[in-house]
Structure 1
Amino acid sequence: MKPEQEQALKAHLQAIAQILYDDSDPDALQTLEGIEMTVRQKIQAHVSPELGKFFIRTITATISGRPRKLKSTLGELEITTKQAEKLEVLAHRQVSPHLENCCLRLSATVSYEQAERDLAYLTGIRVPAKTQQRIVHRQTFELPEVEQAIEELSVDGGKVRVRTPLGEACEWKDYKAIATDQGMIANFQNNPQLIDWVNQQSLAHPVVCLGDGHDGIWNIISQIATAPQRLEILDWYHLVENLHKVGGSIKRLNQAQTLLWQGQVDSAIALFKDCRRKQAKNFCEYLLKHRHRIVNYEYFAAEGLYSIGSGAVESAIKQIGRRVQISGAQWNRENVPQVLAHRCAYLNGLIGSPLPTD
């Protein structure tokens, strides 16, 4: 902005400020927060809608069309159908794109009711909880854009509470998530969608696939890329967790852990050959089942070659869970995929435009 423009702007702002001040309740101006909230309310009611109207008219170069009103972070905006068409504002929408994205970012982290309260406090604009819910369920959320070949991915499952008919106990159902080094995706009872997304991306040779011992996890991984391209690794921390479920001699458990750390499956199994505990038998069967996924963890860790634990996807599951498992949350079965897509889009940074730079 040129110096003469700044000077002219300041003169106009002084006049505007005086008018707004004279129209304000003195009792609301006794604290800085009170001043902040009062000024914001006055600007949204009287100033920024006029600024928005000027910008819209100037950019679109039209005033034709039927007028309509939108809730926005600038206040209530008036826009014509022709202007809306040029600015890619969809018909019948009553909330502006930026305010809608504010709603989506908030409701991705808290309940719709809390998002209504937080939005009003943060922006000065109230959008009812039911409207926020409708905004979520009419979206088509973007999936991560992979710019480089995916080198590692991990698969895990989480729990979501599904609503049941009145009088019946709620049900906890599994969903699956895949975390890559370039974003995460999750879905509910639709593993093919997860698999197809991964296979549509560029995958490294090899692509490291990490998981725990559950069959459902490896069933998904078995359909990713090709067997020669995959390097399957059993999560070290889950392996150790299962080892210590065996119980018994601490010395033997420590010896087994050392051997498994070096990828020596047969030697680890031999330690339990005389152990009659059912847990030991189950653990040996577990080792045999996954022996091709048990690598030399010590070497991999020392050389920094590949990850040895699926911490990324477990972190993703926890972050998804912070929304889908908030206190009292129950979901209609048909809405769960959209709720998961919403949370993942938020965690992947795919909601809203980048902030403008100075």
Structure 2
Amino acid sequence: MSLPNGQKPFDCVEVRFKNSRKEFFRNSENLSLSIGDVVATQAKSGHDVGIVTLTGELVKVQMKKKKVSAEDNGLPKIYRKASQRDIDIWQKCRDKEAEIQKRAREIAISLKLEMKISDVEFQGDGSKATFYYTAEDRVDFRQLIKDMAKAFSIRIEMRQIGYRQEAQRLGGIGSCGRELCCSTWLSDFRSVSTASARYQQLALNPQKLAGQCGKLKCCLNYELDMYLDALKDFPSPDTKLQTEKGVAFCQKTDIFKETLWFSYKNEPANWHALNKKQVQEIIGLNKAKKKVASLEAYVVDIPLEEKLVFENVVGQDSLNRFDKPKRRNNKKRRNKKRRPNKNKAASKNG
């Protein structure tokens, strides 16, 4: 889309590096860049190589979202479009990362450091490598840096990340069968607590609620607001109903069907389904120091859902047709048993 007359294109672009790491750079040379171009960018020392992922006015929107000022003079610059020599050096460094990561882990184990080196990222010119690690406590890795600098002959930078950031960098497939949200589209990590699972009436099973990072799944927050809105005018699960037959306790709630199940104190196994409005009506009577006769007068009939049964409309064979025993073999066995008896009878007659 062409810009209006007299308006200059936005001079900042978004560049992606390894594992979806994105940064903003200023196009001070007014290069004609488009999405997918490989560029050489400014680094603290030397240069780095990345891929342009966003240009134009959309970069301004992303910078505002990430709280990065477009007028900041300290933004790094884009030097040039990457030459073939830059790309060759960059690719050569990327090929060495797995081997160096393995060697770095061996050095850390020999020094008995309680840390996990999860990823290695080389700078585009191959002069520096950043080692990302996770650890429970503070780690003294001064000797580790000395040993790695001697073994690899490069400048070393150690950067500690959390377990969620580690899963974001490495990626993977979640229990839903899709790629991890943190490695595809999720840009920030909101805190997730067990209260999110309680509001949604989920079983507090750590194996099901935890993601690949070992923390609670980020998707527990996706529908939380909807549940909180539905719970605003919903009776509390600790509600007790006073009846002439006895005190009734809440056993189960269904927020979206607006149904609550109560049982008497003396009959905990016998549940009675009540509507939300009926429960609120009984609560109002109890506040006025009045008791209802019983819960049976308010019971709601919940229709049972019909289960779909497979119908063989195409004339297909049964799936368990091979499970039926074969009768022919039994007949053969019976015939074999009868033959020797006939021979004995013939010998007697002879």
Q: TM-score, normalised by structure 2?
A: 0.22
Higher helix share: 1
Q: TM-score, normalised by structure 1?
A: 0.22
